[in-house]
Amino acid sequence: MPGSQAAQEEAAARPVPDEWRTALSEPREDSVYPAVGDPGVDALHYDLALDWAPDDRLLEATATVTFRATTDADQVTLDLAPALEVTSARLDGAEVEVEHDGKDLRVLAPFRADAVHELEVDYAGSPEPVDAPTTRSDFSTTGWTTTGRGAVWTMQEPFGAYSWYPVNDHPSDKAFYDVAVTAPDPFVGVSGGALVERSRGDGETTTRWRLDAPAAAYLVTVAIDDYVVRESTSASGVPLSVWTRRGDRVGARRMRALPDVLAWAERRLGPYPFETLGVVLTDSESGMETQTMITLGRTDYVQSPAVVLHEVVHQWWGDVVGPTDWRDLWLNEGMTTYLQWVWEAEAGDVPLEVFVEAARSREPSLRRESGPPAAYDPLAFGESNVYVAPALMWHAVRERVGERRFWRFVRAWPAARAVDGLAVGQGPPIGDGHGTRRQVERFAERVTGAELGDLFDAWLDSPRSPLRR
């Protein structure tokens, strides 16, 4: 195309913008779900303009993706669902040829390693959720989900963000986000981060949201409904918001637990790491630790203080530092589940051993059904084995190293692995917002001074439960 060569040469010399340098990642092919994501793309920033017509179930959108090519190549690939038709695409300001084959959106142009590019994609269609690789009862699909009223919610773990925008849909690639949602009144769009603008006109409302720290695609949320918001401030000064459907007094009342569970988490984990914290209630039956704006479904359990606490703790263990590969899902869920037990024991004034023993009674059968936590069945994503067994492992670590060293480690890990600029704890961070099994094992041994390899191997890898030996 005319001008494309000049644009490519300019991109090759373009540095990574300073404000997005903390989004630099080392994307990789997933060992569990290799068909999703492209290691050749390091997304730095997504600017999404979403226009939702609920009566027609039509999404019209423009996505501007700033990314770094990680290697020399004659094309890069983003994930985008086939239900969304690309109407035009521009690379560094010039029209570019793309191929949309299934969920693969291939951008056909020469790329040089470390060159920074801006890709604009105009697209439209009726988004459909993606089949989830799980047998869980609380969700069977992921991604953009439309209710009978035309309301929308999104949960997309381990993938499914590609159901509504072009994305490198893998946890190893974190990026900044600006999201604008336009919908007809009385609908209001909610996303993660700070609400930087809200405007009304011509019977529509537009909200603009900005995430203050890089996020993996599965931690980004959009919800659209007849929402009202209740705002407050935590004891530590964090702006809080709760978004409920108009008239949902029960949900609003339940979310009054948010300030208290945040205060508990801060006592255990250190200062809350992000600028804002919110909860949006949806028609889902599950819950998700979407970064800074937790997405919760409608069931009594999902809206309980214990689950709110679980998702708040994930803001440290899961959002500040998350896995580079879905094989390490246990790294998110194990510690969060364990801290949920600790909180429930304290809140109910019962011994922690009550929760530990209940988990021990279940663990062997969970391992048989879904595999060891670090080698689970790919068609059994997010089953209880990746929650319960690693939580019991952390309890065993606590018993071995003692209280002071254990809690020092619990606080230190997210602080150490955080991207630069997140005030999670004392000392400079050393990470990029990601962690691996070996990294957390070595870090725990260094902080506690104890040998822990036998516990990690037995609880995470063995097909036979450590409780049966």
* pLDDT tens per residue, range 107-118: 999 999 999 999
**Residues 6 or more apart from 348 whose CB is under 8 A from it?**
none
Are 36 and 143 a contacting pair, CB within 8 Å?
Answer: no
Give the SS3 label for residue 256: helix
In whole numbers, what is the pLDDT of the chain averaged over residues? Answer: 95
Answer whether residue 258 shows pLDDT above 60: yes
Reported pTM = 0.96
| Cα radius of gyration rounded to whole Å, the chain | 22
Closest CA to 29 of 333, 318, 326: 326
The predicted pLDDT at position 469 comes to 58
- The packing angle between helices 305-314 and 258-269, to 10°, is 40
How far is 454 from 461, CA to CA, in rounded Å?
A: 10
Relative to beta strand 116-125, strand 58-69 is antiparallel
Q: Do 39 and 47 meet the contact criterion of CB atoms below 8 Å apart?
A: no
Residues 154, 57, 122, 213: what is their CA dihedral angle, to the nearest 10 degrees? -20
How far apart (Å, rounded) are the C-alpha atoms in residues 76 and 95? Answer: 15
The yes-or-no verdict on residue 400 having pLDDT over 50 is yes
Which pairing describes strands 227-233 and 204-210: parallel, antiparallel, or unpaired? Answer: unpaired
339 three-class SS: helix
How many CB atoms are located within 10 Å of the residue 235 CB? 10
Domains and CATH numbers, the chain: 1-224 (2.60.40.1730), 323-468 (1.10.390.10)
At 319-362, the pLDDT tens digits run 999 999 999 999 999 999 999 999 999 999 999 999 999 999 99
pLDDT higher than 70, residue 3: no
CB 89 within 8 A of CB 122: yes
Q: What is the mean pLDDT of residues 220-227?
A: 99
Task: Answer whether residue 9 shows pLDDT above 90.
Answer: no
- Residue 46's DSSP bridge partners are 65, 177
- Report which secondary-structure segment, H or E, holds 390: helix 385-401
Rounded distance between C-alpha atoms, residue 221 and residue 217, angstroms? 9
Please report where in the chains the tokens 């931690």 appear, as a residue: 219
pLDDT band at 15, cuts 50/70/90?
Answer: confident
pLDDT at 428: 47
- Residue 43's closest CA among 6, 14, 68? 68
Strand ranges of the sheet holding 188-191, from the earlier edge strand across to the other edge: 130-131, 141-146, 152-155, 222-225, 188-191
Task: Provide the residue count of the chain.
Answer: 469
- Distance between CA atoms of residues 73 and 166, nearest Å: 19
Number of separate helices (H) and strands (E) present in the chain: 10, 24
Q: What pLDDT sits at residue 12?
A: 57
More confident residue, 423 or 280: 280
Locate the DSSP E strands across 147-276: 152-155, 174-184, 188-191, 194-201, 204-210, 215-216, 222-225, 227-233, 239-245
Would the pLDDT of 100 be above 60? yes
pLDDT of residue 254: 98
Q: What are phi and psi of 81, to 5 degrees?
A: -65, 145
Say if residue 305 is preceded by a cis peptide, omega within 30 of 0.
no
- The pLDDT assigned to 4 comes to 53
Strands 434-435 and 322-323: parallel
CA-angle at 275, arms to 116 and 219, nearest 5°: 60
**Tens of pLDDT along 279-322?**
999 999 999 999 999 999 999 999 999 999 999 999 999 999 99
pLDDT surpassing 60 at residue 1: no
3-state helix, strand, coil in the chain (%, to 5): 35, 30, 35
Quote the percentage of the chain above a pLDDT of 70: 95
d(C-alpha 396, C-alpha 413), whole Å: 18
450 alpha-carbon distance from chain centroid: 31
What confidence score (pLDDT) does residue 2 get?
A: 40
What is the SS3 assignment for 429?
coil
